[in-house]
Amino acid sequence: NMMTSLQRRRGGRDRACRFGFTLIELLVVIAIIALLIGILLPALGKARASARKVASASNLRQIGLSKTLYANDYKDWYPLVPGAWNTLSQVIDNQGFYGGYAGFYSLNQEGDGIDQGWIAGVYIANPGVEPIMQAYLDDYAVLTSPADDLDYHLTRTAPRLAQGVLKTPTPAGREEQVIDYNISYLYIAGFRTDEPVLVAPAPLVGDETNARDHGTDAWYGNAADRTFAGLDASEAGFYAEDDNHGKDGANFVFTDGHGEFVNGNTAATFFSGDANPQNVNAIDSDRSNLLRTID
């Protein structure tokens, strides 16, 4: 009986040893889990980035459609904010006058209540004036890309990135929340739906950069902004790592309503003097002089 009891206890210990983990086995399991995480994380990151690109493209299609609806009502002209200017050239030059692209949607840009933009009661004589896109876009949230993690509040007196206030873009739920740092896109103003001098449909709205995308400053045309964003002189016209989709490029919607992801030197693609069919100056070398990029 004593032998049987001893064997029973020894058998219990043997079973415990068989079903337990040794230190080496545990370390091997941990190493395998770490390896799997290392393999899966980049794939998950790519899937997330791809989903954000798709969602951003959907936003742009809605924005582009709203501009086409506007053009249908205004003799084929895509939106241009009105002002006391005498010539088309002056109108184009002043498209960023009312707080940049935000002025198309809001003339009372309170933003987060801390850093404000164009405020109607302060800057214009008639605070009852309505923004020109008010009747054409009622979902202000589409103005913010899910890929837009940061932006800078820039002003006319502090237009450079180094002077800007770092912000986290937030989708606007009402007109007063529409402001430069809550908008993720830029607009190229001055096109019409019927453009006989264009070889291909023109870029209308696309992902902005974090810098001031106004005129020749667009796509890091300003040297100080390039340096701040970690770009060198050869990267003027490109996107930076902190922009909506990093250095990969940007989503654009075109005047015919189609969308595509544009890689490489965006400024050169759309405005250079080469034979690129997407170049708006391909037929008329002065066409871009009556356009204004604003954000």
> pLDDT: is 290 or 123 the higher one?
290
Q: What is the largest CA-CA distance in the chain?
A: 114
Nearest-CA neighbor of 137 among 84, 165, 174, 188? Answer: 174
pLDDT confidence tier of residue 31, bands split at 50, 70 and 90: confident
Residue 253: which H helix or E strand, with range?
strand 250-254
> What gap in Å lies between CA 210 and CA 178, rounded to an integer?
17
Number of CB atoms found within 10 A of residue 69's CB: 14
> What gap in Å lies between CA 241 and CA 278, rounded to an integer?
25
> What gap in Å lies between CA 255 and CA 133, rounded to an integer?
17
Task: Tell me the whole-structure pTM to 2 decimals.
Answer: 0.84
Token pair for residue 202? 């023109």
What is the residue whose two structure tokens read 């989503």? 251
> What gap in Å lies between CA 91 and CA 143, rounded to an integer?
24
The arithmetic mean of pLDDT across residues 98-119, rounded, is 93
Strands (E), 142-242: 151-153, 165-167, 185-189, 203-207
pLDDT confidence tier of residue 41, bands split at 50, 70 and 90: confident
Q: What is the residue-wise DSSP string for 40-93?
A: HHHHHHHHHHHHHHHHHHHHHHHHHHHHHHHHHHTTTBPP----S-SSHHHHHH
Partners of 192 in beta bridges: 77
Q: State residue 1's pLDDT score.
A: 56
On the question of pLDDT at 169 being above 70, the answer is yes
The arithmetic mean of pLDDT across residues 97-114, rounded, is 94
Partners of 260 in beta bridges: 252
Token pair for residue 81? 């904010």
pLDDT confidence tier of residue 39, bands split at 50, 70 and 90: confident
Q: Give the Å distances, CA to CA, from 193 to 28, 144, 196, 199.
A: 64, 25, 10, 13
Number of CB atoms found within 10 A of residue 32's CB: 10
Q: State residue 6's pLDDT score.
A: 46
Q: Which residues of 254-268 are buried (b: 16+ CB within 10 A; e: fewer)?
A: bbeeebbebeebbbb
> What gap in Å lies between CA 7 and CA 184, rounded to an integer?
75
Contact present, 176 and 127 (Cβ < 8 Å) = no
pLDDT confidence tier of residue 5, bands split at 50, 70 and 90: low
Partners of 156 in beta bridges: none
